[in-house]
Structure 1
Amino acid sequence: MLPVESRLVVPVLAAGGGSGRSTVAGLLACSLAASAATVVLDTAHRLASPWPTWPTEPGAGLASVPPDQGMTPAQVRSAASRCSGPDGDWRVLTDHQEWSAPPLRLPSDPAAWYQLAAAGGWQAVIADTSHPIAHDVVTSRTLSLPGLTAGWCALPYSVPVLAAPATGPGVAALQIAVRAASAEGLPLQRMVVALVETGDGRVPAVVRAAATMLQAQVSGVVQIPYDSHIRAHGLGDARRLTARKTREATAALVRAVLTSAHRSWGEPLPAAPVPASAARPGALPAVSLPAQTVLQSEGVLA
């Protein structure tokens, strides 16, 4: 169990599309839901995301977050949809508008998403990111701009998970991303790699070799086996994720994340900071939430 006052942040990152990023985020939520109040933050636009179709019980969605007024923690929680897994329920903040509706202006700053999750009172915060990390790292360095990858890594008690398909091209892109992250001084020693199998059969030798080399660079490497139910249905009915190999791999991934967190900050995890307005001492920067609001220390948004 995570301590009630703690907040573990797990941004799921990838070098590009087709990496199994959303699947990894959902599997993490399935397992962490048994021991902590858990939310997945869907940072992608709805027409490029599977999350709007996966919840067991859709909530009001991110469009319900008012753009020009204060918002209570109860309103944040009502915006979240419920997902059900074999070990319990968790929540996801996603966009449930019709496909033809104008796109929401979602925040890019990871601190904004952190504030939203803190307002909802969730302990395990899993961010399904949508940007290619190597491109982001190189672009931010070249243009001297804040990088999204660096922002997610800098959040309090953040253990990034790098997802990649368990294929030759997949691990080649992953290795480039790892080199870029290393050159930028990002915390590789805290990161966990999830290699997602894309089919039945033996994992290619090049993938096994890459996994061995990565073990010395990151906190842990976990292989996520191919699951025909996920391939056919995604995580729309996660309660049926009963395959033993999938559950064992998911448990191993969560153990790797918790091991990294405890190695970095101790066990149990310390209490999480409470985001507040920039005018207050020790506050996170004031940033734009979907509601253009900032969490106040008394526990409401204003």
Structure 2
Amino acid sequence: MAATGGSGRSTVANLLACGLAASGSTVVLDTAPRLSSPWPAWTSEQAAAGLASLPADRPLARSRVHGAAAHRPGLANGSWQVLTDGRDWHSAPLALPQAPAAWYQLAAIGGWQSVIADSTHPVAHDVLAARCENRQGLTRGWCDVPFAIPVLCAAATASGIQALQQAVMALHAEGLPLQRTVVVLVGTNDGRPPAVARAGATMLAPRTHAVVQLPHDSHIRAHGMREPDRLRSRTRQAAATLASAVLAAAHATWGQPLPPAARPRPLSVPVPAL
């Protein structure tokens, strides 16, 4: 999740998937509209059926869900999957569900061990709007998914840290689980993180489970995440650190090994008369 756009959220989701793939089967759920998401471009060479092949009003088999997911290479000869809308740009927009429970149900059908949701809503705005309208917001919905570890991304700049601090204040005011939240500060330039990013990390460290610094990688800036095997060694190390922090937060909250995740209640499907 992130407070604003341009926070490196999808890059972080990709690197986290690379790190978690070493521990078990992993999938990324792309919840963004197709023309505002980088995932279709990162998987364009594949012929995966995509989210459009998974009708929301019919029962789904695990084989069909896996057939809709594209495969992505990991960082250590592993692989993982991503569910995105990979159709041509001129196809009619796909109506994706907003409710986190719907995405959790889809992931449960797929049976993956690690699920990463690349969300698109601005966290602080969502929390405040939900509070003013007396409803449950998307941020709380994602935090309430079984064994959810919130990963909050921000650019390591003055404006990025300011937006991050506002998001953290909103999460704290609503009693959302900061103690199991992992913060990722995404570098925008080579060299040492700026003073404002270092100060932000120091401020957030005691309030969250972990703060991870993701260094700037010129290959990502130039080519996106098409070729993870060409990433810098320090980027690979940051991906491993991020995955370890997420797993540690889960184990510290629910124990090790993690108990079985809750299975969504299946919907009743009417059987046609013969």
TM-score bin, normalised by smaller chain: over 0.9
2:210 corresponds to: 220
Q: Count the aligned residue pairs.
A: 267
| Residue 111 to residue 68, structure 1, CA distance change in 2 (3 Å) | closer
Matched with 1:266 is: 255
Matched residue, 1:65 = 54
Task: Select 2:102's aligned residue among 97, 112, 119.
Answer: 112
C-alpha RMSD of matched pairs (Å): 1.3
Gaps of 5+ in 1: 1-12, 280-292, 294-302
The amino acid across from 1:73 in the alignment is: R
Unpaired runs of 5+ residues, structure 2, are: 270-274
Alignment partners' CA distance in 2, 1:131 and 1:58: 28
Taking CA–CA contacts closer than 8 Å with sequence separation of 6 or more, which of the two structures ends up with the larger relative contact order? 1
Q: Identify the residue that residue 289 of structure 1 maps to in structure 2.
A: none
Return 243-252 or 187-196, whichever deviates more. Answer: 243-252
What is the letter of the counterpart of residue 188 of structure 2? T
Are the counterparts in 2 of residues 171 and 207 from structure 1 also a CA contact under 8 Å?
A: yes
1:10 counterpart residue number: none
Q: CA deviation at 1:57?
A: 2.8
Q: Select the residue among 253, 270, 285 that pairs with 2:242.
A: 253
Say whether the 8 Å CA contact 2:75–2:236 is kept in structure 1. no
2:65 counterpart letter in structure 1: V
Tell me by how many angstroms 1:122 deviates. Answer: 0.6
Q: Which residue in 2 is equivalent to 1:18?
A: 6
Aligned to 2:163: 173
1:32 aligns with 2:32: no
Structure 2 CA distance for aligned equivalents of residues 62 and 19 of structure 1 = 25
Residue aligned with 2:256, SS: coil
1:84 corresponds to = 73
Partner of 1:6: none
Match of 2:111 in 1: 121
Q: How do 1:4-15 residues align onto structure 2 when only pairs under 5 Å count?
A: 13-15=1-3
Are 1:111 and 1:151, in contact at CA under 8 Å, matched by a contact in 2?
Answer: yes
After TM superposition, the score normalised by the length of structure 1 is 0.86
Deviation at 1:240, TM superposition (A): 2.4
d(CA) in 1 for partners of 2:74 and 2:107? Answer: 20
SS at match of 1:127: strand
Alpha-carbon separation, structure 1, partners of 2:212 and 2:74: 21
Distance 1:140 1:194, change over 3 A: same
- Kindly provide the CA deviation profile for residues 149-187 of structure 1, in whole angstroms up to 9, marking residues without a partner as x: 000000100001000000111011000000000000100
